[in-house]
Structure 1
Amino acid sequence: MSKLRLIPKLQLKPASYNPNKLVLVVTRQFGNVTEIGDPVSQAKIFQDQASDELIFVNIDEKNSSEIKSLADVINKVSQEIFMPLTVGGGVNKIEDFRLLLSNGADKISINSAAVLNQGLITRAADKFGAQCVVVSIDYKKDANGNYFVYINGGKEKTPFHPVEWAIKAQEFGAGELLLTSIDNDGMKNGLDLQITKEICDNVTLPVITAGGCGLAKDFSDGFLIGKANAVSAGTFFAHRDQNFMQTRSHILNSGVNIRK
């Protein structure tokens, strides 16, 4: 059995003091954005703590020029650290894949574009390999308590249930899935284990789950109950005295087979 993964997620957004500079931020339910620092410096800290890999997501996708800004950040990060990087946010075409991969990304995450242009999943998988294509699935309950996938930063509801869309993404050629519960994002109340487990039971792809970790136990639950291949978190590592290495030790002690 392959080792399960613990992955910090670094969210990026143009700085309030300089719209041309991407900075590290944390969010609550995809809103209430708080700027917390420099992404390159934080990436170096996670490397020193022996992180398995990193996820970078630009959560502000107002114009196509931000792909270049994101590529610049990834280029700087890749010169400082040596671990796999998954990068997303505003990726809409094959050229965006090529730009980010040429600047140090190992895998590319697509979200809104995957829903709106499902053929992009297949074309990217054919061109760069399925292992390079990560379909990001943001979802939440609607006013009636039913789960749906949302795009455009959680603002636009799609007709897809997250399990349904996960199955379709696999059929289109995705190599990995990244799940994020919008309802739980930044709330520190635990992962959405129900949807995580349902998706893991219905696909054969590696599944990363995120959104809601507030205790080390939440990570363990994501592996043991949710059956995820990886658990990712941003706010947890940004606002706690407990660092990445301590968290990993707690998870190992719970019997989860993650890398030491």
Structure 2
Amino acid sequence: MLKKRIIPCLDIKNGRTVKGVNFVNIRDAGDPVELAKSYAEVGADELVFLDITATNEGRKTFVELVKQIAQNIDIPFTVGGGISTVEDVAPLLQNGADKVTVNSSAVKRPDLIKELVAAYGTQCITVAIDAKNIDGQWFVHTHGGSKPTDKLLFYWACEVEQRGAGEILFTSMDHDGTKNGFAISTLKQLSNKVKIPIIASGGAGTMHHFKEVFKETTIDAALAASIFHFGEIAIPDLKSYLKKENIAIR
């Protein structure tokens, strides 16, 4: 059995780590390089860096900041934000990213997933999916959650897998930043639809929420931001708790 992963997420805006609730009400959460370094030191399994305004601002990810973070950590590092072509990926990998994640650009042009996989390999490509429950249907949103689409979560996840993505990072916009727990029933359904690894994001507020998502679904990793950034839960304490609950953790 593959061991479960705990992944802090750095949402970056104007070179700073930020965090919101339901993708709005953004507040500052600190220096990304210092945060990344501390997470690597305390046992985070991976790190995700999302330049959350790159797509809306029509620019590429901050390569220099990626480089600075990579120089200070020794754990797998996934970078996303503003990636819209095969050529956008090379500078990120050359400056220390291990994987990249695409979202809006893949929704707009799904062939991009195949092109990225052909160029860099399945293991390198994560597709992030942000979705919101509207009248009982989960609709995919793009541009940092600001633009609704007519794509349905489960259909899009299956297409993402078919096109060769190595992993899905699913964020429930309804749960994001609420600290009320992950979208368990939706994650169960998602796990049944696809065979590639799924990272659950949105809603972590207590150690019990991590236990719940790992016990009740077959997802591979749980991602969180504010509870780690603001010291509400320490990663070593979380891992110790999960091990006591008989969850295979790295």
Q: TM-score range by the shorter chain?
A: over 0.9
Which runs of 5 or more residues in structure 2 are unaligned?
none
CA distance in 2, matches of 1:137, 1:37: 25
> What do residues 52-88 of structure 1 show as CA deviations (whole Å, max 9, x unaligned)?
1100101112434442x2x111100111111100110
CA-CA distance at 1:251 after TM superposition? 1.4
CA distance in 2, matches of 1:195, 1:90: 27
Counterpart residue number, 1:233: 224
CA-CA distance at 1:145 after TM superposition? 3.4
Of residues 127, 132, 135, the one that matches 2:124 is 132
Of residues 60, 63, 73, the one that matches 2:57 is 63
CA-CA distance at 1:226 after TM superposition? 2.2
CA distance in 2, matches of 1:187, 1:216: 14
CA distance in 2, matches of 1:151, 1:216: 29
Counterpart residue number, 1:167: 158
Kindly indicate whether the alpha-carbon contact (under 8 Å) linking 2:17 and 2:30 is maintained by their aligned counterparts in 1.
Answer: yes
CA distance in 1, matches of 2:233, 2:224: 13
Equivalent residue letter for 2:133: K
Matched, 1:75 2:67: yes
Of residues 140, 163, 186, the one that matches 1:149 is 140
Of residues 34, 40, 43, the one that matches 1:41 is 34
CA distance in 2, matches of 1:102, 1:238: 27
> What do residues 19-57 of structure 1 show as CA deviations (whole Å, max 9, x unaligned)?
xxx100111000000012100000111111011110010
Equivalent residue letter for 2:2: S
> What do residues 77-130 of structure 1 show as CA deviations (whole Å, max 9, x unaligned)?
111111100110111111111111111110000000111011110010011001
The 5 A counterparts of 1:5-20 are 5-14=5-14
Matched, 1:88 2:83: no
CA distance in 1, matches of 2:116, 2:137: 31
Report the count of equivalent residues.
249
CA distance in 1, matches of 2:16, 2:44: 20
CA distance in 2, matches of 1:54, 1:203: 23
Of residues 51, 55, 73, the one that matches 2:44 is 51
Of residues 78, 82, 101, the one that matches 1:109 is 101
Kindly indicate whether the alpha-carbon contact (under 8 Å) linking 2:29 and 2:226 is maintained by their aligned counterparts in 1.
Answer: no
Counterpart residue number, 1:19: none
Kindly indicate whether the alpha-carbon contact (under 8 Å) linking 1:137 and 1:177 is maintained by their aligned counterparts in 2.
Answer: yes
Equivalent residue letter for 1:149: V
CA distance in 1, matches of 2:53, 2:178: 20
CA-CA distance at 1:177 after TM superposition? 0.4
Q: Which moved more, 1:239-248 or 1:204-213?
A: 239-248
Secondary structure in structure 2 of the residue aligned to 1:51: coil
Counterpart residue number, 1:18: none
CA distance in 2, matches of 1:117, 1:27: 28
CA change 1:88–1:118 in 2 (3 A) is same
Counterpart residue number, 1:251: 242
Equivalent residue letter for 2:158: I
Kindly indicate whether the alpha-carbon contact (under 8 Å) linking 1:162 and 1:195 is maintained by their aligned counterparts in 2.
Answer: no
Of residues 157, 168, 171, the one that matches 1:180 is 171
Question: What do you get for the CA RMSD once the two structures are aligned?
Answer: 1.2
Equivalent residue letter for 1:3: K
Counterpart residue number, 1:202: 193
CA distance in 2, matches of 1:51, 1:239: 15
Matched, 1:29 2:22: yes
Counterpart residue number, 1:100: 92
Counterpart residue number, 2:215: 224
TM-score, normalised to structure 2, is: 0.96
